[in-house]
């Protein structure tokens, strides 16, 4: 049997909605693909501007069809721009906790099968700190926390870090500043967040850099495509390419990081525990 490549699973989260999670997820995915990775993006954000809208995709099936056994994972995956594979989420995600043991085994098997084709899974989570968001985030190896220069973004990011740290022992977070006027402002946001966490929590925040406020990104949203493909020379596209290089260089710190089914096993375990 061919040994599957180690898979990395990144969650893209934020406390507050509308800070750029879906754009970050999509463009990070596209740029990692360009670097030669095989990337899948799981849409776990049921918000309005979700991944399929942003990419102009119209998936026929979603995760709920996989869970019910009607469709295979290969059938629900849609090919996005630049070869990005998209796993449409939908309401199926809420059903994770209600699966029978047999269904759980089916989902785990499904993911272990695509595990050999991909080496990065990006999970675009919903905003907020609800149970399912927290479960997704802590099932991943790294949490990319997107913040922008708004008081509610910062306080919600802090609340997110605090909850995951105090209740679930997560201590490492990757901070990404978005919609900032320049590099300096991005770093200032990171420093501000560190000041509060250093004082009250025992966590390590790593700075991933900043994505500038960019009208080309807005234009690309209107054109339903990723800015990194539609406007590759724009400031934000350049920043996304730099982000992808940083993301691929992150050390693989999880001892069990090699298998994708591990992420799904964790998801099921956490959501089942929450349902008890
Ligand atoms: N770097 C940026 N520059 C300009 N506008 C941005 C940027 N990032 C996000 N936006 C704006 O914010 C909106 C919400 O982004 P989105 O990725 O859908 O956020 P979320 O997934 O966190 O709700 C986008 O449609 C876009 O108009
Ligand atoms: Mg979103």
* pLDDT tens digit sequence for 42-100: 888 766 558 888 898 989 988 878 877 888 888 989 999 988 999 887 655 656 656 66
Q: Collapsing DSSP states into helix, strand and coil, what is residue 54?
A: helix
Distance separating alpha carbons of residues 251 and 139, to the nearest angstrom: 17
The structural domains of the chain, ordered by start, are 8-275 (3.40.50.300)
Which residues are CB-neighbours of 48 under 8 A, at least 6 positions away?
A: none
Which pair of structure tokens corresponds to residue 173? 């977070």
Prediction pTM value: 0.92
**146-150, 155-159, 259-263: range with lowest mean pLDDT:** 259-263
Nearest CA to ligand 1 atom 27: 218
Nearest CA to ligand 1 atom 15: 20
13 CA from centroid of ligand 2 (Å) = 9
**Residue that wins the pLDDT comparison between 223 and 67:** 223
Q: Establish whether residue 22 lines the binding site of ligand 1, counting it when its CB lies within 6 angstroms of any ligand atom.
A: yes
Q: Look at strands 8-13 and 120-125 and give their pairing.
A: parallel
pLDDT at 112: 72
Which residues are CB-neighbours of 50 under 8 A, at least 6 positions away?
A: 22, 43, 89, 124
153 CA from centroid of ligand 2 (Å) = 14
Q: Locate the ligand 1 atom nearest the alpha carbon of residue 215 and give its number.
A: 4
């Amino acid at each position: 049997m061919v040994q599957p490549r180690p898979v990395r699973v990144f969650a893209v989260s934020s406390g507050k909605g509308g800070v750029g999670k879906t754009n970050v997820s999509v463009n990070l995915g596209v740029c990692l693909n360009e670097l030669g990775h095989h990337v899948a993006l799981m849409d776990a954000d049921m918000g309005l501007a979700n991944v399929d809208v942003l990419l102009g995709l119209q998936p026929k099936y979603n995760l709920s069809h996989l869970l019910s056994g009607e469709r295979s994972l290969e059938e629900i995956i849609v090919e996005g721009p630049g070869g990005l594979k998209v796993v449409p989420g939908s309401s199926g995600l809420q059903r994770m906790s209600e699966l029978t043991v047999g269904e759980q085994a089916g989902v785990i098997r499904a993911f272990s099968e695509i595990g050999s084709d991909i080496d990065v899974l990006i999970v675009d989570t919903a905003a907020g700190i609800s149970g399912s968001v927290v479960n997704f985030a802590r099932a991943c190896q790294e949490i990319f926390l997107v913040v922008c220069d708004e008081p509610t973004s910062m306080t919600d990011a802090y609340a997110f870090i605090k909850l995951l740290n105090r209740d679930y022992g997560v201590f490492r977070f990757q901070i990404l500043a978005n919609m900032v006027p320049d590099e300096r402002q991005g770093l200032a946001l990171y420093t501000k967040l560190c000041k509060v966490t250093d004082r009250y929590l025992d966590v390590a925040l790593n700075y991933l850099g900043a994505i500038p406020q960019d009208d080309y990104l807005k234009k690309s949203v209107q054109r339903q495509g990723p800015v990194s493909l539609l406007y590759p020379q724009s400031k934000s596209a350049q920043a996304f390419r730099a982000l992808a290089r940083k993301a691929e260089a992150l050390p693989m710190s999880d001892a069990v990081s090699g298998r994708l089914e591990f992420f799904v096993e964790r998801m099921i375990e956490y959501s089942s525990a929450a349902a008890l």
